Structure 1
Amino acid sequence: MSTISNNSLKSSLLQLECHFTWTLLKQDVDLDELEETIEDQVKFFITSNIRNYNLLSYVCHLKNSNEEALKNLQIAEEEIKKNHPDEIARRSLVTWGNYAWIYYHMKRYEEAQTYVSKVKDSCKELSSTAQRKIQLPDICAEQGWAFLKFGRKYYERAKNCFENALKNEPNNPEFNTGYAIAMYRLENFFYSQCEDRSLSLELLKHAVELNPKDTFTMALLALRLQDVERVDEGEQYIEEAMQKTPDFPHFLRYAAMFYRRKGDVDKALEILKNALRVTPKSSFLHHQVGICYRIKLFQLKKTTRYPPQEQVEELIRLAIFHFKTAIDKKTKFFHACVDLANMYVQGKRYEEAEEAFQKAFQINILSNDDKQQLYYHYGNFQRFHMKLESEAIRYYREGLKIEEDSYARSKCSNALNELLGWRIQRGLGDATDFGTLGLIHNLNGEKQEAIECYEKAVELHPDNEEYLSALCELRLSLSS
């Protein structure tokens, strides 16, 4: 193929609306876990399998399985013919776009060009303007669902996609569901900045009204009602959904979360075990089971003065088993890694705890909030169990240095304040301790206290540029 025609083909490919042009980056997800999630949804969701097979084809490509990717696109085509025989061209645009890109990557350029032409011709028929890039509400929604699957970095973009789709079809049940889920997840992620959760509450309620068979969304609505202390109302939705889909694992996982948060851990465990019978490989479910056993352990220790050692050890064993199983099935499962490490600590298995923490540090898709949590928990491990105060200070400080407000960052700040205060009272404070205390005071807006700490740090380490610079900036801010 000539360079000119190859460049022309690549230019045409970039005009397509499909997974290959939506900037879905493989480094942002665990591909094996995402593939398993999509396959589960294909198995249990009766509708919307076209978009699942389209996304599955893209995931297969990212895993260097282009032949498998083509098979999934063939199934997507069959689904379109079966479910939308009168709208084949319109419903196939994303599928054909994916075909074109996969054939291009396989260096089968003629076939790639064929699918580019199919998209181009269909767009001419569907639109008054002769453009290859067309913004149909179905395509906007499919893009939104793909963004939701690729994790928290993409939630804002998912919300925007569903908003665009709803402009054309405001009462479309699927679009309303996608928009509600995007808002629900955004509110959860930006918890500290989002005190008012009524927006997703109303959106979820509207989505359930439009599609009362959707028990997954019903469970999210119940959880949001629980968040705003309307627990009884939330439980009514859970009970209604349980009658409709008693064996649907994607509903059951959130039903179990509802009862765990309510304090009924035994009921949560019962539901989770039922869900595991249907999807025994689910890392999410194993993690939730581990959390339930951890709660039972802490309850036993809190309510019993001398808890039976056998019971303590058994609960630790069960929690470790399920956290470990979750990580075995999803290697980048950050929260399960940290929970496993902390459970090893409970069992005084410190070498294994260290190993689990190091696995968490190696995960390459951590958000700033995740990193802050990891620094906080690892700092605690160093402080309380390894008895290494200097290491604890180092990791708490790393969490504090990440400039994003979060619950974990405030925990790092409080832990540092307490630990440094003790060290200074005992006469053990060095330049680093005073410098770190200055940083905390500065972040809290306590500028005079910060200046005093940095002055002490400079006194102990006169040539340190970081302390001198911070001191200079603080004095200038007070004088201006």
Structure 2
Amino acid sequence: MLPGENSLSAGIRFSSKEMYSTNFKNSLKSSLLQLDCYFTWNLMKQDVDLDNLEETVGDQIEFFVKSNIANYNLLSYVYHLKKSNEEALKNLQKAEEEVKKNYPDEIPRRSLVTWGNYAWIYYYMERYEEAQAYISKVENSCKKLSSTGQQKIELPEICAEQGWALLKFGAKYYNRAKNCFENALKSEPDNPEFNTGYAIAMYRLEDIFYREQVDVSLALEPLKRAAELNPNDTVIKALLALKLQVLKRVEEGESYIEEAMQRTPDLPYFLRYAAKFYRKKGEMDKALEVLKKALAVTPKSAFLHHQLGLCYRAKLFQLKKSTRYPPQQQVEELIRLAIFHFKTVTEQNRKFFLAHVDLASIYAEGKRYKEAEESFQKALHESILSCDDKQLYCYQYGNFQLFHMKSESEAIKYYLEGLKIEKDTYVRSNCRRALKKLLNEKIQRGSRDAADFGTLGLLHKLNGEKHEAIKCYEKAIALCPDNEEYLNALCELRLSISS
């Protein structure tokens, strides 16, 4: 029976899909697009691994003792994307139960997103009457909740739920998530959940990208405020500790980790960040101990497997740095363990770009070059890459070509490609330094390749070093007099200096 209908009206429900005209369905679709829910938030399935997201949300439902309305709504959307609308409906029913249990006096206000999701799923199931019924339910509730009787209202709870959903869909959504939480905080500046979401979005925006000459302390105050408003939230305290560590306030950060460890020693979501803190501090064995404890609770966590891989790789580098001739058996075991965990990540979350790159790099350390090449190609093609990802790929693949495949020309090609992506990041600076060092070494060895001088000229030009660029282009033209690219660049540089 539909919301609000009686047994008589249920008995005369239309049974034939053909009875619905094209105009009716177009009108229905237009109404659906006005709803504020997961189907109108532009959450694209190509940006996530749906199986991994399902696993992650399931873990959060199990381990976080709080309202799971948003998690069940998100799961319903994930099931829809996986073409399992019946399972999607079951999760919406669970969301409704959560609303009744946690907000019995605010059911319409807290159910708008859930009802919007119902409408969309019924539309895709071609159950148009039910879709229309839920649209009407949302519109009527909005009119009652709005002081002006509008059919659509912006509630801070909905802004926050959208923010949490955006955070789940990856780095390209983080800035939108931050904006959602900012909007929610305009209405309720002291709301603990909204402050937590805003702090996490700020932290991730600063943490995910490889930037330099950027203030990486902007998340500090939001994290502090969220920790004050959520004294029992050990995850936010762990993120605060990591931020303090980045700002060279390690002892202060560790005090938060130790306090949180006493409070929630078995919470996997806290332990993952505690382990990251110890890894960055250089205490690999302690980090591994914490990660294994967390993995025993959530064995399919891609995040934990990735952190374990990073720890074993770091132990490998520590061993090679501390010993001129490290024991081969120990080296091989650390490489094996790192490969196992990175490979597990890529199998569980195909769109985890960094894991593919890390797997490729550790294969190269083990001289498994064919598998390294395959992993680099998967990193390039499995995900939609941001500019930061592309720069990182170019730098790491350039290193692979230079140090393992012994191809200076390919290394130059990829370092240059990374440098040409005009976003001022730490990785771009690495591309610049690696390219400059490699070109200078080639020239010092007596290179007579015009391309080496031309590329070094371009490098100086991009750095604003016009006089050095002119000298390089002059040498390039001396070796290749008819090259239009070098001639045009030289002409442009001379004009810029004389003007």
TM-score category of the 2 structures, normalised to the smaller one: over 0.9
Say yes or no: does 1:338 pair with 2:357: yes
CA contact (8 A) 1:16 1:132 kept: no
Deviation at 1:63, TM superposition (A): 2.1
Deviation at 1:287, TM superposition (A): 1.2
User: Which residue pairs with 1:232 in the alignment?
Assistant: 251
Stretch moving more, 269-278 or 468-477: 468-477
In structure 2, how many angstroms separate the alpha carbons of the residues matched to 1:36 and 1:75?
Answer: 17
Deviation at 1:470, TM superposition (A): 2.9
Question: After superposition, where does 1:192-271 map in structure 2 within 5 Å?
Answer: 192=211, 195-271=214-290
Say yes or no: does 1:180 pair with 2:199: yes
Question: After superposition, where does 1:306-455 map in structure 2 within 5 Å?
Answer: 306-455=325-474
CA contact (8 A) 1:28 1:151 kept: yes
In structure 2, how many angstroms separate the alpha carbons of the residues matched to 1:462 and 1:133?
Answer: 68
User: Which residue pairs with 1:47 in the alignment?
Assistant: 66
In structure 1, how many angstroms separate the alpha carbons of the residues matched to 2:217 and 2:278?
Answer: 21
User: Which residue pairs with 1:276 in the alignment?
Assistant: 295
Picking from 107, 119, 125, the partner of 1:100 is 119
Q: CA RMSD in A?
A: 1.8
Secondary structure of 1:238 counterpart? helix
Deviations 1:332-390 (A, max 9, x none): 22222222222122222222222222221222222211111111111111112212111
Stretch moving more, 246-255 or 408-417: 408-417
Secondary structure of 2:326 counterpart? coil
Secondary structure of 2:219 counterpart? helix
Deviations 1:417-474 (A, max 9, x none): 1222222233334233222212110111111222232344345445545434433332
Deviation at 1:258, TM superposition (A): 0.7
CA contact (8 A) 1:124 1:131 kept: yes
In structure 2, how many angstroms separate the alpha carbons of the residues matched to 1:391 and 1:435?
Answer: 16
In structure 2, how many angstroms separate the alpha carbons of the residues matched to 1:195 and 1:422?
Answer: 31
Deviations 1:243-287 (A, max 9, x none): 221111111100001111112111100000000100111111111
Secondary structure of 2:218 counterpart? helix
Name which structure has the greater RCO, CA cutoff 8 Å, separation 6+: 2
CA 1:106–1:469 in 2, change beyond 3 Å: closer, same or farther? Answer: farther
Deviations 1:35-91 (A, max 9, x none): 221111111112131001111111222222222211111111111111111111000
CA 1:469–1:50 in 2, change beyond 3 Å: closer, same or farther? Answer: farther
In structure 1, how many angstroms separate the alpha carbons of the residues matched to 2:33 and 2:388?
Answer: 34
Instruction: Give me the TM-score of the superposition, normalised by structure 2.
Output: 0.92
Structure 1 gap segments, 5+ residues each: none
Picking from 142, 166, 180, the partner of 1:123 is 142
Instruction: Give me the TM-score of the superposition, normalised by structure 1.
Output: 0.96
CA 1:162–1:194 in 2, change beyond 3 Å: closer, same or farther? Answer: farther
User: Which residue pairs with 2:305 in the alignment?
Assistant: 286
Letter aligned with residue 498 of structure 2? S
In structure 2, how many angstroms separate the alpha carbons of the residues matched to 1:478 and 1:332?
Answer: 47
- Deviating beyond 6 angstroms after TM superposition, the runs of 4 or more aligned structure 1 residues are none
Question: After superposition, where does 1:10-25 map in structure 2 within 5 Å?
Answer: 10-25=29-44
Q: Percent identity?
A: 74
Say yes or no: does 1:82 pair with 2:106: no
Picking from 186, 190, 206, the partner of 1:171 is 190
In structure 2, how many angstroms separate the alpha carbons of the residues matched to 1:191 and 1:342?
Answer: 18
User: Which residue pairs with 1:58 in the alignment?
Assistant: 77
CA 1:291–1:128 in 2, change beyond 3 Å: closer, same or farther? Answer: same
Deviations 1:181-213 (A, max 9, x none): 111112224563564444322211111111111
Say yes or no: does 1:477 pair with 2:491: no
In structure 2, how many angstroms separate the alpha carbons of the residues matched to 1:410 and 1:296?
Answer: 26
Stretch moving more, 135-144 or 67-76: 67-76
Secondary structure of 2:467 counterpart? helix
CA contact (8 A) 1:420 1:429 kept: no
